[in-house]
Amino acid sequence: MAPPQHPVTGNNAMARLKTVIHVHTHYSYDSDRSPEDLVHDARCAGVDCAAVTDHDEIAGALVARELGGVQIIVGEEITSADGHIIGLFLHERVPPGLSAEETAHRIRDQGGLVLAPHPFTILCDHSLGPRALARLRPWLDAVEVCNAQDFLPWENTRARRFAAEHQVTPYVGDDSHMRGYLAACYQMVPAFDGPVEFRAALRQAVLVSGRQPLGYFATMAVRQAWRRIARRPLRDRGGSAPAIRARAITDGKGSPAQAD
């Protein structure tokens, strides 16, 4: 059953926020961008809100949220046994390796939202694909219908068709990993407070699709080759991830807003 509609009302119906979903910091193994760099890039690009979704980690999003200056949604791109799944509005890390259904349960148990990134991208080893996506459908809050790193246009076309046929809210994913690159894809959404309002706001969003420039792909290719040769992340992480998560929770910033 699709989640109920929750219209955005009052003052929140007036403003629209330039929002990027699916962005990384160096808490992802394949990114060299610090949370500080992300906030700087967001402010330079006129971004009001960023959903930070590092691979199998929420510590980078917690650090970015502590910095201020940009509204941060704490998220995670989780490597489930069936492919990548994004959880938004998290306060605890969801471990990788679980089934798609169990991953979705863990997200929902925190009051979070379940998103499917790049579901049909063949150049990504961790796309869900049609079978896993169909199994995940009862929990899906939104599906990524454009990914700024996708080379092949039919992948996004197939995602848009899935969203329309299954009445799943579409969104566009920036999926940027590097300093100086942000908001190739973004959405203009009504102002919101918490996951329930964000889910409703996303249904009213104006989606702006785009693609990262060639220089981004060339640099990423070189850096990924170096990572494979050196067998280490592109950049050391700034601090202990468990310690950062614990600090954010104990100072009161880790409490989740519950979705209906």
Domain CATH code at residue 39? 3.20.20.140
Domain that holds residue 77: 14-250
Give me the pLDDT at residue 252, please. 41
19 part of a folded domain? yes
For the chain, the helix, strand and coil percentages under 3-state DSSP, each to the nearest 5: 35, 20, 45
pTM of the entire structure? Answer: 0.83
Dihedral, 109, 111, 113, 114 alpha carbons, nearest 10? 0
Residue 36 lies in a domain: yes
The H or E element containing residue 207 is strand 206-208
Does residue 35 lie within any of the structural domains?
A: yes
Is 181 a domain residue?
yes
Is residue 35 within 8 Å of 210, Cβ to Cβ?
Answer: no
**Domain count of the fold of the chain:** 1
Helix (H, G, I), strand (E, B) or coil at 84: strand
- The pLDDT value given to residue 100: 97
Q: Which residue has the higher pLDDT, 83 or 259?
A: 83
